[in-house]
A and B are shown apart, each in its own frame.
Chain A
Amino acid sequence: MEMLYHSVRDIVSLSEKYQIPMWQVIMKKDMEERQVTKEETFETMHHMYLSMKQADQEYDKDLVSASKLAGGDGGKIHVYNKAGKNLMGDYASLVMEKAIKMGESNACMKRIVAAPTAGSCGVIPAVFLSYQELFDVAEDKMVEALFLCAGIGEVIAENACIAGASGGCQAEIGSASAMAAAGLAYLQGGDNDMIVNAMTLALKNMLGLTCDPVCGLVEVPCIKRNSAGAVNAVASAQLSLAGIKSAIPADEVIDSMRRIGNDMPKCLKETGEGGLAVTQTAQRLRAYQGLADGEKNTTF
């Protein structure tokens, strides 16, 4: 295999060696690995992007999750943004809004694209869809950027992890944020260094984030963290495009994430036994989690 990589450094080297953009290195590896044509994998990735778009459009502000803990916030932030009271610029404001919406759609059993996980499904679409809406970018370019996200995610998954249960939320929202930052830097015309650096800054900012969901559900704090992760991606891309560098290189930050994940106590890795999940409020909420209609248990 020509396009074999195990680190961010590898992707950059292959890009330099073959004089092709990083997203093409990633696409070619997939073609070799799965024995598919360029058209096939491009279409699959495009399908992922279209599914993100559809999920965004199908947000319903009137839906409430089964636990009743999630729903409606996407509508609120939309109204606030539309009123022109936004503190952040139009782009970052829209990013926030879309991230919340996607997180809520996920909690309400709507169809989403795991990126890299269902819990963090709002970060990348928020950054990407808002960008395309406001800056009028060709669809192909968006798909190229999505390849870039996927490749970065692959490297993180290989060298650290992308599941809250193994590495805490840094592995989910953190990885999503890093992937989105790389994609965004590419969309804004950043070179390889800027792309890698955007990813690095984003991930570094998310190190140590724990996974402590209330009642064990992908709702609190997950939904709002999608907006935090998405806005962090935008900030990191902007810092990087301005020429600001991470003192620690990408692969070392990924290694750190793995180490931090390993050092993190079990109670903060999706077990519901620590952090926000054991607050008084969380325990009160847990007591109210009855069964929904039609789900009655029978004892045998």
Chain B
Amino acid sequence: MNLYDIIGPVMVGPSSSHTAGAVRIGYISGKLLDEPVKSAKILLYGSFLATGTGHGTRKALVAGLLGMKPDDTRIPDSLSIAKEQGISIIFGEAQMKEAHPNSAELILQGVSGKTLEIVGESLGGSRINIARIDGIATNFSGDYPTLVVHNLDQPGHVTEVTSMLAHKSVNIATMQLYRNSRGGEAVMVLECDQEIPRDSIKWLEHLEGIQKVTYLSLL
């Protein structure tokens, strides 16, 4: 926490968790999709669902998806802006068990047909956590350039990724590994201190056993 977490941030109200945090979840999700959104199913859970209308949570999530940041004064108009841009948005209730009380599930499709499913949690004071990507548990804040790699659970993939990063002089801040079952699908999440070059990400995508590469660039 620094001085400007105390005086600040500048944000559109009314709530740092239910509004500003929701914008951040939408924003990071849009960045992870990495192309303009064509359609979004947005499912709310817990307190997001119960008090979302009064807090503008739905508008905030959509605003974030459109690339707005928490201080963007267009947030209250995001639903009509999305409509003008021809983006289809459907809201609903999330069926989740024991999720964080301020959670949203975003099921996104981009203009090229690319899809992405994200569960984001708003932790308070506009900090967020991306808790799930395409059905597999994750855990990252979106404060760093973040690489998410879905791969088959087999030896060698971690080395491929980390040696590529070393080669590009990208330092790893945190690294997490998850899998749904032995030999099944695995995910690695790497938060980095530097941005990863685009062509290195393309290169990763074509490796055998790598199923999907998602990258959060802060640029």
- A residues contacting B by CB (< 8 A) are 26, 30, 33-34, 41, 44-45, 47-48, 51, 65-67, 105-119, 121, 124, 146-147, 149-151, 153-154, 157-158, 162-163, 165, 179, 215-219, 289-292, 294-300
Query: Which residues from chain B contact A296 at a C-beta distance below 8 Å?
Result: 91
Taking A118-B15, A299-B92 as known contacts, 7 extra A-B pairs with beta carbons closer than 8 A to each other, sorted by chain A number, are A109-B19, A118-B13, A149-B7, A157-B6, A216-B54, A218-B13, A295-B58
CA distance in complex: A158, B5 (Å) = 12
Cβ-closest chain A residue relative to B6: A153
Query: Which residues from chain B contact A118 at a C-beta distance below 8 Å?
Result: 11, 13-16, 19-20
Query: Which residues from chain A contact B56 at a C-beta distance below 8 Å?
Result: 66, 109
Query: Which residues from chain A contact B19 at a C-beta distance below 8 Å?
Result: 109, 118
B53 and A292 within 8 A (CB): yes
Partner of A219, one of B10, B54, B93: B54
Closest CB in chain A relative to B188 CB, distance in Å: 30
Closest CB in chain A relative to B217 CB, distance in Å: 23
* Sampled A-B contacts (17; CB under 8 Å): A34-B2, A110-B13, A111-B12, A111-B13, A111-B71, A112-B11, A113-B10, A118-B14, A150-B4, A150-B7, A217-B51, A217-B54, A218-B13, A218-B15, A295-B52, A297-B92, A298-B92
Q: With A30-B3, A150-B3 as known contacts, state yes or no: A217 contacts B55, CB within 8 Å.
A: yes
CA distance in complex: A150, B1 (Å) = 11
Q: With A289-B53, A294-B79 as known contacts, state yes or no: A106 contacts B13, CB within 8 Å.
A: yes
CA distance in complex: A290, B19 (Å) = 18
Query: Which residues from chain B contact A44 at a C-beta distance below 8 Å?
Result: 4
Query: Which residues from chain A contact B14 at a C-beta distance below 8 Å?
Result: 65, 106-109, 118-119, 217-219
CA distance in complex: A163, B123 (Å) = 11
CA distance in complex: A111, B51 (Å) = 20
CA distance in complex: A46, B75 (Å) = 24
Cβ-closest chain B residue relative to A115: B7
CA distance in complex: A42, B94 (Å) = 44
B3 and A297 within 8 A (CB): no
Partner of A117, one of B10, B76, B80, B125: B125
Interface size on B, residues (CB 8 A): 42
A151 and B3 within 8 A (CB): yes
CA distance in complex: A101, B9 (Å) = 19
CA distance in complex: A149, B7 (Å) = 8
Query: Which residues from chain A contact B111 at a C-beta distance below 8 Å?
Result: none
Closest CB in chain A relative to B135 CB, distance in Å: 16
The B65-90 residues at the A interface (CB cut-off 8 A) are: 71, 73, 75-76, 79-80, 90
Query: Which residues from chain B contact A218 at a C-beta distance below 8 Å?
Result: 13-15, 55
Q: Is B184's beta carbon under 8 Å from chain A? A: no
Query: Which residues from chain B contact A219 at a C-beta distance below 8 Å?
Result: 14, 54
Partner of B6, one of A162, A291, A292, A298: A162
CA distance in complex: A222, B93 (Å) = 28
A295 and B53 within 8 A (CB): yes
Partner of A48, one of B8, B43, B47, B92: B8
Q: Is B124's beta carbon under 8 Å from chain A? A: yes
CA distance in complex: A298, B92 (Å) = 5
Partner of A298, one of B9, B50, B53, B90: B90
